[in-house]
Amino acid sequence: MRPNKRDELVRKALQVFYRDGFHATGMDKLVVETGVSKTSMYKHFRTKEDLILAALRLRDESFRNWLLRRIEEVADTPAEQLIASFDALKEWFEEDGFRGCMFIKAGAEYQDADHPIHAQAAEHKRLLLEHFTRLAREAGVGDPAKLASQVILLQEGAIVSAVLLKNTSPAEDAKEAAQQLLKIAQG
Contact 130/168 with Cβ under 8 angstroms?
no
Per domain, the residue ranges of the chain are 57-186
- Mean pLDDT in residue range 56-64: 97
Least confident of 26-35, 125-134, 169-178: 26-35
Question: Mind spelling out the 3-state secondary structure of 64-114?
Answer: HHHHHHHHHHHCCCHHHHHHHHHHHHHHHHCCCCCCCCHHHHHHHHCCCCC
Statement: residue 1 has pLDDT above 60: no
pLDDT given for residue 3 in this prediction: 63
Contact 87/74 with Cβ under 8 angstroms?
yes
Least confident of 30-44, 105-119, 148-162: 30-44
Statement: residue 2 has pLDDT above 90: no
Alpha carbons 71 and 113: distance in angstroms, whole number: 31
CATH superfamily of 57-186: Tetracycline Repressor, domain 2 (1.10.357.10)
Q: What is the pLDDT of residues 67-104, one digit of tens each?
A: 999 999 999 999 999 999 999 999 999 999 999 999 99
